[in-house]
């Protein structure tokens, strides 16, 4: 690991960056909408990587059911999703942690770097996904899809919480984000921080470079800048 260069906190996206659930999230949404509305909701057909969970619920109502769901209906859908998610994560044969992640998290902790989450998952879903691999122990703060449907605002929320956890030591330039999509890059830059793009999800090195990531890596295990 190279010198920390003043970085005191690193914010990680989850899906495609820390791990993949092998479709567990989509399966949970599908079960929830089948149970509540009797429809087949194939999330992958209607959403893109990097969307927040509230965005996903809204899109499924609009594009699958054919109308805007009420606030109550969306709340029930999210509740159903969370009810099914522990089971779909546990059942998933495709669940896996990305190469080099656990070693990197250990190294960052040992170097005195605070670790946070910045994810489109609502908070409970984020921790359900991390729990199967025992990864919740690394993260002391975060910003979640349950904080805002806008990923830039999610990132700003994570930074504010990190500032509280750090005791006010996260000055400008002290935090960076890590993500696998152009949405992650845009959100980090919108919140005023640099971003490491990792090509472990749906986007290539070239696409992440084009999106403006400050560093782009094939995996976090090769050349991480902290």
* Structural domain contains residue 111: yes
Q: Which helix (H) or strand (E) holds 173?
A: none
pLDDT at 48: 65
The DSSP bridge partners found for residue 20 are 96
Can you tell me the distance from the alpha carbon of 25 to that of 91, in angstroms, rounded to the nearest whole number?
11
Among all chains, which residue has been given the structure tokens 């605002």?
153
Residue 4: is it exposed, middle or buried by C-beta count within 10 angstroms (0-12/13-18/19+)? middle
Can you tell me the distance from the alpha carbon of 190 to that of 202, in angstroms, rounded to the nearest whole number?
22
What backbone torsions phi and psi does residue 106 show, to the nearest 5 degrees? Answer: -60, -45
* Structural domain contains residue 226: no
* Structural domain contains residue 139: yes
User: What is the DSSP annotation of 115-140?
Assistant: EEEE-SS-HHHHHHHHHTTT-GGG-S
CA distances from 198 to 25, 178, 209 (A): 21, 7, 10
> Where does a domain end: 41, 69, 91?
91
Can you tell me the distance from the alpha carbon of 16 to that of 152, in angstroms, rounded to the nearest whole number?
18
Q: Looking at the 3D structure of the chain, how many domains does it have?
A: 2
pLDDT at 49: 65
CA distances from 76 to 71, 87, 98, 116 (A): 9, 18, 32, 28
Can you tell me the distance from the alpha carbon of 120 to that of 154, in angstroms, rounded to the nearest whole number?
8
pLDDT at 215: 97
Mean pLDDT split into 10-residue runs, the chain, 226 residues: 71 97 92 86 70 84 83 91 96 96 96 96 96 98 94 95 89 90 96 96 95 96 87
> Do residues 55 and 107 both lie within one domain?
no
> Do residues 84 and 152 both lie within one domain?
no
> Do residues 54 and 133 both lie within one domain?
no
Among all chains, which residue has been given the structure tokens 């999800």?
201
* Structural domain contains residue 3: no
pLDDT at 5: 66
Residues 6 or more apart in contact with residue 13 via CB below 8 angstroms: 50, 117, 118, 119, 177, 178, 179, 180, 181, 184
Residues 155, 192 contacting (CB under 8 angstroms): no
pLDDT at 222: 79
Residues 6 or more apart in contact with residue 79 via CB below 8 angstroms: 32
What CATH number corresponds to the domain at position 62? 1.10.150.240
> Do residues 192 and 122 both lie within one domain?
yes
pLDDT at 205: 96
* Structural domain contains residue 110: yes
> Where does a domain end: 91, 126, 148?
91
> Where does a domain end: 54, 69, 91?
91
* Structural domain contains residue 222: no
pLDDT at 50: 66
> Do residues 28 and 15 both lie within one domain?
no
pLDDT at 46: 66
CB atoms within 10 A of CB 152: 17
Residues spanned by the domain of 52: 24-91
pLDDT at 1: 44
pLDDT at 36: 85
pTM of the model: 0.91
What CATH number corresponds to the domain at position 151? 3.40.50.1000
The count of residues in the chain is 226
């Amino acid at each position: 690991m190279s010198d920390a260069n003043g970085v005191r906190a690193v914010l990680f996206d989850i899906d495609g960056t820390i791990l993949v659930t092998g479709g567990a999230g989509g399966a949970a949404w599908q079960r929830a909408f089948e149970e509540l509305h009797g429809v087949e909701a194939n999330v992958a057909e209607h959403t893109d990587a990097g969307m927040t969970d509230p965005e996903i619920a809204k899109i499924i109502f609009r594009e699958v059911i054919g109308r805007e769901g009420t606030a109550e209906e969306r709340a029930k859908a999210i509740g159903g999703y969370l009810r099914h998610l522990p089971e779909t994560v546990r059942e998933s044969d495709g669940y896996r942690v990305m190469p080099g992640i656990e070693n990197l998290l250990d190294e960052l902790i040992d170097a005195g770097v605070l670790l946070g989450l910045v994810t489109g998952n609502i908070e409970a879903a984020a921790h359900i996904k991390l729990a199967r691999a025992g990864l919740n122990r690394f993260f002391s703060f975060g910003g979640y899809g349950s904080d805002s449907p806008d990923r830039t605002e999610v990132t700003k929320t994570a930074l504010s919480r990190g500032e509280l956890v750090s005791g006010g030591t996260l000055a400008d330039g002290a935090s960076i984000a890590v993500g696998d999509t152009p949405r992650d890059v845009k959100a980090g830059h919108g919140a005023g921080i640099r971003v490491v793009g990792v090509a472990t999800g749906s986007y290539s090195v070239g696409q992440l470079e084009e999106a403006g990531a400050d560093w782009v890596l094939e995996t976090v295990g090769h050349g991480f800048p902290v």
